[in-house]
Amino acid sequence: MRGLFITGTDTGVGKTVLAASIVAALRAAGEAVRPLKPVLSGLDEPSDPVWPPDHELLARAGGVDPDAVALIRYGPPVSPHLAAELAGRPIDPGVLRGQIQTLANGHGTVIVEGVGGLLVPLAPGYDVRRLARELELRLIIAARAGLGTINHTLLTLEAARSAQLDVASIVLTPWPEHPSVVERSNRETIARLGDVPVATLPPVSQPTPEELAAAGATLPLTDWLSSS
């Protein structure tokens, strides 16, 4: 399976915009790409007038049907293990993994976006980190650029490496046109202390495939995918 697994240091750090930017950039370059958000919660939240739900944004970037992106969906904006419990629809890890592998086969590059961070539970004894490990995809970690990101990012990096995940890069997002001294220091410090490449994603103001692709084109996608 060729592709990337996108995770974040927390919820709301921009990993869906990052994943969609990667998908849109690959598609604009003529590559067959399949976006997947295997588990999605929070569909009961009021819709944003500009930004669609995660699976719809990924679908828009990839030119596919949203129903083909999100395999398991829950309404409440809670951790997926709790959403599954509230809905009475538990997640079967083996079934989920098999669905992802089936959908990925024959579709060029697959971009899988996790839910929350690596240690978010999906089922008893099974979390996002284990799913990423079993899919054997290189990992991209989305992180904030500002104050507080060093600790969150290095902890996520440590959690990934303890499970022998292949971390291709950290991506700080959104990265301003004129970064502050703190933001520039954060990038250098994470790269040095984490011994990891650190890329940046510019702001995306509108959820259009064209703007997402332009942002994604600034990333070293060829390098990330060369070993996948």
Please state the three-class secondary structure of the chain as a single string.
CEEEEEEECCCCCCHHHHHHHHHHHHHHCCCCEEEEEEEECCCCCCCCCCCCCHHHHHHHHHCCCHHHCEEEECCCCCCHHHHHHHHCCCCCHHHHHHHHHHHHCCCCEEEEECCCCCCCEEECCEEHHHHHHHHCCEEEEEECCCCCHHHHHHHHHHHHHHCCCCEEEEEECCCCCCCCHHHHHHHHHHHHHHCCCEEECCCCCCCCHHHHHHHHCCCCHHHHHCCC
Q: Which of 15, 27, 34, 37 is catalytic?
A: 37
Is residue 37 part of the annotated active site? The answer reads yes
Active site residues: 37
